[in-house]
A and B are shown apart, each in its own frame.
Chain A
């Protein structure tokens, strides 16, 4: 599904990614771990297409298409979803407005008609239950006045509604208490299927207790320094990242 080869990327004149390789097949869950500043968030944003993230070498194919040529919104319509580490507040624009616009953009991209208002609301209500968000909150501005935990749950809600094929969650687990973490994990698991894939970008192993990854990668200095199964995450939790850098 996703094939990243020899990816180099630069942000504000600094080289962050230096030859990153990653292959994700449908049905898989990958965890990317690593110390702060290793390039985890950069990887997520380069995949989502953030402006100012300059790719200097390498390739990214998504279902065989060159992802790097696509604008961020086209990537989203292709089925990529980025859960933000710091979800953005947009005062005055309600969550429902954003969701409807996002859902219809995707449908239009696929040549489908716009969703009926009643179907849309029923769908949103149904999904909101999964992440325990009061539908009333959705009439408020996007993330406006939401607590940190609510913002993260809102990211998961958007993901559940948009049903992407590749979910990239950038430290969605950080700053959550254990209850919120479980809700977030339930949301991710609800979407797990043989057609979809997930990339969890995280600093801690905690989330991986609830969302079992197939592969764990360690990112350091802008490239994958180790890959393995779930046991690698536990090893990291015990030993920290120091031993990697020493190696």
Chain B
């Protein structure tokens, strides 16, 4: 009973991007284009202090001299940076909601569609959330409870106003304004994002979470997230991303900076489901993100866990600089490319301190015409006595039109280091599918089961409720991939 080509076409049509709706909300969006004036205007609108305007302008001037990176294994037309609007905010937001009750009900409806009922979340799930819609942060739940613990969780704009010294001390200290092309662009025009500060000795009493959504046409989203965990602090943070279905490509260039001091631990999880474009590759988000953690403190630990199923193009390498002695960096990733999606993703582990350890587990799944690359760097500096790394990098192929690539860089300058790298590539075998079907399981479910089994090592690193969500997301993203 071969699945015939027309069945596949049917499945393709059935495959809907469930987050692909557009919310009609009156928005205030500035005209497309980028100049020093635009940078000044963004800063002025946000009533920013002089030092931050300086930071933006320096970044902008540096960006003008930089070139878009070409080394990644992805192909896309030249981006016209003058055709993008760099600021958009829902109009009703102007005065800023004081509480969730004041948030535009249509916005709340949007989040409901996304499966994030804020109120319910507040009451039941125990997850505190910040929501960034296009460019501005619209609601932060659970402030009170967090405040009692001394945890600061707010939008980065608010943090600039309320905690300028903290922001000034840490912003740009992990990802400098001129770090790379996209980071420089972000530093110049970032509009919002989340700020988290966990003071010394505090274990954040709940999971923190941010949902990002791009809604307006022709807008870019440039959010900036900064998380600081002081000595002995712990936080688990999750971000989710969606965007409406649109024919044109939209740009998302975020920067995430994490700072972990002595004995601090940060767990950062991402479920990225930006609109991937249609099966012909029309539309979809360009996701060019710089994420880096600075394990400054001794015995500090940062874990990146990511499930990347969306975006037309993903360019992303969540990294750890293991500066503190005995610090630990982890990277667990599942990336899926289907249709015409392209992903070049991986991590960098820079071992600086003594006895630093890193673990990398990367699972890539390619279907349709998807192209997927793992790109990773493990660098052991001369100072990193007894550094250890283990890398496991597996690819699963579904169909003969896709590609899976592995580019692991290993650079070692200390003779006490031990590094291991293993990579395999395999396909879902027809006999595996037949075996499941002979037990009564449908082909789609069998694929989803096998893929979930392939990703198990990564899913177990996600907070429980998101692990389930991630599994479902994979199943939806793979619909129509077998035949």
Contact = CB atoms under 8 A, between A and B. Distances in A.
A162 B432 contact: no
A51 B430 contact: yes
B434 A162 contact: no
Given A98-B441, A105-B441, A90 B432 contact: yes
A92 to B, nearest CB: 3
A18 interface: no
Contacts of B279: none
Interface string B449-471: 11011111000000000000000
A149 interface: no
B219 to A, nearest CB: 40
A105 B2 contact: no
A172 B313 CA distance: 49
Contact of B453 (A49, A70, A72, A92): A92
A76 B435 contact: no
B437 A92 contact: no
A215 B437 CA distance: 29
A73 interface: yes
B77 interface: no
Given A73-B440, A88-B435, A158-B439, A98 B1 contact: no
Nearest to A77: B440
B234 to A, nearest CB: 30
Nearest to A75: B438
Interface in B1-27: 1-2
Contacts of A88: 429, 431-432, 434-435
Contacts of A91: 453-454
A175 B335 CA distance: 41
B453 A71 contact: no
Contacts of A220: none
A65 to B, nearest CB: 15
Nearest to A105: B440
Interface residues of A, number: 34
B441 A73 contact: yes
Contacts of B445: 101, 105
A52 B439 CA distance: 18
Contacts of A51: 1-2, 430, 434
B443 interface: yes
Given A51-B430, A70-B1, A72-B434, A93 B441 contact: no
B442 interface: yes
Most buried by B among A52, A71, A141: A71
A210 interface: no
A93 B439 CA distance: 14
B436 interface: yes
A71 B438 CA distance: 9
Interface core residue of B430, B439, B450 (most chain A CB under 10 Å)? B439
A115 to B, nearest CB: 13
A123 interface: no
B440 A98 contact: no
A87 interface: yes
Given A51-B430, A90-B453, A98 B436 contact: yes
Interface in A125-164: 141-142, 158, 162
Nearest to A83: B438
Q: Which 10 A-B residue pairings sit nearest by Cβ, starting from the closest?
A: A92-B453, A76-B440, A93-B453, A72-B437, A102-B439, A88-B435, A105-B440, A71-B1, A73-B437, A77-B440
Interface of A: 48-52, 70-73, 75-77, 81-82, 84, 87-94, 97-98, 101-102, 105-106, 109, 141-142, 158, 162
13 contacts: A71-B1, A73-B436, A73-B439, A73-B441, A88-B431, A92-B455, A93-B450, A98-B436, A102-B436, A102-B439, A105-B440, A106-B440, A162-B439
